């Protein structure tokens, strides 16, 4: 079967997206089972790991040029785009606010963003060291 380069890329993105979605579902559920559901720990774990992996892949691809540009798109857009969604962060923060859980809402929003930046920097640093 002869596929065009664009169709090949779309299929790879779809496969990577499926893997990202399933990984997110599994990790988030496992963390929620372990930590409970009083706080969105599963989303926090996914977002922080996602930021770390994004930083690592970005440096390995962009600065170290160990990952081809085509594969970088598949990993970052396909897998990572499906694995991490900050829309879940916003939704869950809104739900905490709706339940008048203001401290948790603030910790969720500010904590995940601050730790996400730190995790991205750590992933980028790891990418530079490897």
- 42 within domain boundaries: yes
List pLDDT tens digits, range 32-79: 999 999 999 999 999 999 999 989 999 999 999 999 999 999 999 999
Decide if 54 is inside a domain: yes
Please indicate, yes or no, if residue 130 is contained in any of the structural domains.
Answer: no
Asked whether residue 112 carries a pLDDT value surpassing 60, the answer given is yes
Q: In this structure, is residue 98 part of a structural domain?
A: yes
Q: What pLDDT was estimated at residue 2?
A: 67
**Position 25 in a domain:** yes
Total domain count for the chain? 1
Residue 55 lies in a domain: yes
The burial of 118, by beta-carbon neighbours within 10 Å (0-12 exposed, 13-18 middle, 19 or more buried), is given as middle
**With contact defined as beta carbons under 8 Å apart, do 79 and 61 qualify?**
no
32: containing domain: 5-125
What span, in angstroms and rounded, lies between the C-alpha atoms of 11 and 8?
5
Answer yes or no: pTM beyond 0.75: yes
Of the candidates 86, 82, 84, the residue with the CA atom closest to the CA atom of residue 109: 86
Residue 76 belongs to a domain: yes
């Amino acid at each position: 079967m002869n596929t065009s380069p664009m169709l090949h890329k779309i299929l790879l993105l779809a496969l990577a997206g499926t893997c990202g979605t399933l990984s997110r579902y599994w990790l988030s559920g496992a963390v929620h089972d372990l930590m409970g559901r009083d706080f969105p720990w599963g989303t926090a774990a996914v977002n922080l790991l996602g930021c770390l992996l994004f930083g690592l892949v970005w440096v390995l691809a962009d600065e170290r040029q160990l990952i081809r540009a085509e594969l970088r798109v598949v990993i970052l857009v396909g897998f990572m785009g499906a694995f991490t969604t900050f829309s879940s962060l916003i939704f869950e923060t809104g739900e905490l606010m709706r339940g008048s859980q203001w401290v948790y809402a603030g910790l969720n929003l500010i904590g995940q963003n601050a730790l996400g930046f730190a995790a991205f920097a750590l992933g980028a640093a790891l990418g530079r060291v490897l």
